[in-house]
Structure formats: C-alpha cells, structure tokens
C-alpha cells in the first residue's frame, strides 16, 4: 500500500493538567465463548471494558475513569484489546480464560515526551463528515465515512492540534465496528402495539480508519492531553486511543 501524501494541517490549541494513567493489554482467547460474543458486538465489548472499573465512579464512569480502548487485529496472532484508564482496573473481574493481561503505568512514557522526539503512532479514528440540511450525499447529520485525501486531511488536522508533526501517514479502512442496541420499547418496557419485529436489537455500524506512521512531537503538553482524553468521536466504539512508541526519525 502506498502512503497517502500528508496535507498541510490546521492549528488548534488545548491545555489541561495531566493525571496518572494505566494501559492494560489483553491478549484475547478467540476460543473463549464470551470473547467470540464480545468481538461480534462492540456494545458488549464496551460493556466488558467497563466491567473492569471499580464501583462508585458516579453517573458517568467512562468519563470519570478516562476510559479509552482499541481492538487490534491487524497482526499475526490473537486479537489484542488495549484499555487505557485514569484509575487502576481489576482484571480479576474477567471470566476465567478470557485473556492474558498486563497492566503498566503510563507515567514514564508521558513524562518522557519532549519537543523533537520522533515516535511511531497508531490511531483508530472515526473519520467522517456530517451532512448538512441541504446535502445531497445523505440525510441531515448523517455520518459519511471519509477516504483517500479527505481521510488523510482529517487525521493531519487532529494530529497537528494534538501536538504532533506527521512525517508519514498510512491510512487503511478498518472493518466497520458493529454494535447492537436494545430498542427503546425494550429498554422502557414494550408499549402497546409494539410488534416482536420492532422489538429486535438495532444494528448500528460504525466506520473507522486505522492510521499508522511516524511523527515528531511538537508540543508535549497538547500531546499529553490528547493521549489522556482521546481524539475525535466514537470512543464508546473503540475509537480515539492514540498509541506511541519510540522511532528513528527516518521511520
């Protein structure tokens, strides 16, 4: 696959304090019945991730705990689920045999970031544009997946706003993530006149693009914010988690 040319980025600014964070790597057991079930429904996978959190996090536990996750399948071997949190997770809550797990403190990585540092990155993003009221591409507010230069521009803008200067960019369309949600009739009790057909789970596909390449840190403060808060929409569907690793500048 040929790397897409990197468009000139726009600029944005953000600052906030950096809390402690942990990254948990789960090497999933594809033969496990519940793993197989969770991989087929992103809503269930999200619920599995949330089950690792401690109780008492209030009405918005995902936001309170800073939960981000990504399912990595583009490699040889079993799928790997990465879970990033601002509170320590309890992997004992996983079903027996579900996954092999390893948790590490992200503090050394966060504090090592400095301007000019070359890094390899991996990011799964919900690269879409929303249709306006007069759009002919779809209905109002409908999400249209981006591709080619448009998808590259989407990431270049967000990378720049996150304190990264891209040196290479290789986007690839990921398989759509699919979630199944209970209809309102079942969540609140089936109303009069609701048929069994209308009571079935609602299938919600969610487009995602995987971005990989080499970048240089330009603003460590912005980058730490992006790493901890996530980037873009679709965080409940496994988008938004940015992964970094050391890299030579020539990639």
Task: State pLDDT tens for residues 185-201.
Answer: 555 554 444 444 445 56
Residues 131 and 93 in one domain: no
Provide the pLDDT for residue 195.
47
Residues 100 and 121 in one domain: no
Residues 31 and 70 in one domain: yes
Q: How far is CA 174 from CA 2, 33, 34, 159, in A?
A: 16, 24, 23, 19
Residue 230 is part of a domain; what is its CATH number?
3.30.70.1210
Residues 108 and 121 in one domain: no
The average pLDDT across 39-51 equals 95
Residues 30 and 93 in one domain: yes
Please answer whether residues 231 and 242 qualify as being in contact, where contact means their C-beta atoms are separated by less than 8 angstroms: yes
Residues 159 and 71 in one domain: no
The total of structural domains in the chain comes to 2
Residues 131 and 231 in one domain: yes
Residues 150 and 218 in one domain: yes
Let me know if residue 187 belongs to a domain. no
pLDDT higher than 90, residue 29 = yes
The alpha carbon torsion through 171, 110, 17, 234 (nearest 10 deg) reads 30
Angle, vertex CA 214, rays to CA 82 and CA 88, nearest 5: 25
Q: In which domain, by residue range, is 209 found?
A: 115-181+199-251
Task: Report percent pLDDT > 90 for the chain.
Answer: 61
Residues 211 and 95 in one domain: no
Alpha-carbon gap, residue 100 to 143, rounded angstroms: 36
**180 contact partners, CB below 8 Å, separation of at least 6:** 41, 43, 201, 202, 203, 204
Let me know if residue 89 belongs to a domain. yes
Asked which of 30-34, 62-66, 117-121, 199-203 is least confident by mean pLDDT, the reply is 199-203
Provide the pLDDT for residue 201.
66
Bridge partner list, 143: 130
Domain's final residue, options 65, 80, 112: 112
Let me know if residue 122 belongs to a domain. yes
Residue 33 is part of a domain; what is its CATH number?
3.30.70.1200
The alpha carbon torsion through 139, 143, 148, 154 (nearest 10 deg) reads 130
Bridge partner list, 215: 119, 166
Provide the pLDDT for residue 4.
55
pLDDT higher than 80, residue 72 = yes
The average pLDDT across 203-213 equals 83
Q: How confident is the model at residue 75 (pLDDT cuts 50, 70, 90)?
A: confident
Residues 158 and 88 in one domain: no
Let me know if residue 10 belongs to a domain. no
């Amino acid at each position: 696959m040929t790397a897409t040319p990197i468009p000139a980025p726009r600029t944005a600014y953000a600052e906030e304090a950096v809390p402690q964070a942990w990254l948990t790597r789960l090497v999933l057991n594809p033969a496990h019945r519940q793993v197989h079930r969770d991989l087929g429904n992103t809503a269930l996978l999200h619920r599995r991730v949330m089950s690792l959190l401690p109780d008492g996090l209030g009405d918005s536990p995902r936001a309170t705990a800073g939960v981000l996750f990504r399912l990595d399948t583009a490699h040889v071997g079993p799928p790997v689920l990465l879970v990033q949190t601002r509170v320590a997770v309890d992997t004992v809550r996983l079903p027996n045999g579900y996954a092999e797990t390893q948790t590490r403190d992200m503090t050394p990585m966060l504090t090592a970031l400095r301007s000019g540092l070359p890094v390899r990155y991996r990011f799964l993003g919900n690269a879409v544009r929303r249709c306006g009221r007069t759009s002919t591409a779809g209905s109002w507010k409908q999400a249209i997946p981006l591709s080619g230069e448009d998808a590259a521009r989407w990431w270049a803008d967000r990378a720049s706003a996150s304190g990264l200067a891209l040196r290479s960019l290789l986007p690839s369309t990921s398989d759509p993530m699919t979630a199944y949600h209970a209809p309102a009739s079942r969540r609140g009790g089936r109303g009069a006149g609701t048929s069994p057909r209308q009571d079935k789970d609602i299938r919600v596909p969610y487009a995602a693009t995987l971005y990989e390449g080499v970048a240089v840190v330009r603003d460590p403060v912005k980058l730490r914010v992006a790493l901890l808060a996530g980037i873009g929409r679709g965080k409940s569907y496994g988008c938004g988690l940015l992964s970094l690793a050391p890299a030579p500048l020539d990639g």
